[in-house]
Amino acid sequence: MLKFLTGLFAWLGGLFAARPKSSAATGTAAVRIAAAAFVGPWEGERLEAYLDRIASPPVWTVCYGETKGVKQGDTYTAQQCLDMLSASLAGYHAQLAKCIPTLPLQPQGVQVALTSWTYNVGAGAACSSTLAKRANAGDWRGACDQLPRWDKAGGKVIRGLTNRRAAEQKLCLQSLKQGA
């Protein structure tokens, strides 16, 4: 896992270093592409629907964690899964930008990290969180520092979520530092 994270951060670092400080000039397309590259490995790709038993209640899931409209027996191609992930991430980014209006002005890494988190926890939880309150108060570092708190599913700490939140926080904080 460490080797994977090191490679991912090297790739993402190169991607963000070549970009402007914010994606306001480039739109959300670049954020969506980077977010898909970031989120995909964390979610894992499953071409056939499976019952996610960690969720409460269990929910049918497919591709990269998609649950909307998924039912037993559904199957998709890798391209369909990627398209679905990209569309979902665009929607989650847009929902998060509604409750944190200055999100699109932040460095791309911040947007990717928070979009990844929102995709995982849901826009309702994200928008009502302390993280959103801190971001809206202009405390972006404080917002990034809230990410590790979101490492539970069903009330239990999940190692994969702990690792994902650490990666999101690292990307968020590094992007703030580079964007300053």
Is-catalytic flag, 52?
Answer: yes
Cα distance from N-terminal residue to C-terminal residue, the chain = 30
Strands 152-153 and 156-157: antiparallel
CA dihedral in degrees (112, 128, 176, 98; nearest 10)? Answer: 60
What is each CA distance from 180 to 107, 132, 137, in whole angstroms?
A: 9, 20, 17
Is-catalytic flag, 74?
Answer: no
* Catalytic-role residue among 45, 52, 66, 74: 52
* Alpha-carbon torsion (91, 168, 104, 121), positive or negative: positive
**CA 92/CA 120 separation, integer angstroms:** 10
Helix (H, G, I), strand (E, B), or coil: what is residue 157?
A: strand
Q: Which residues does the annotation mark as catalytic?
A: 43, 52
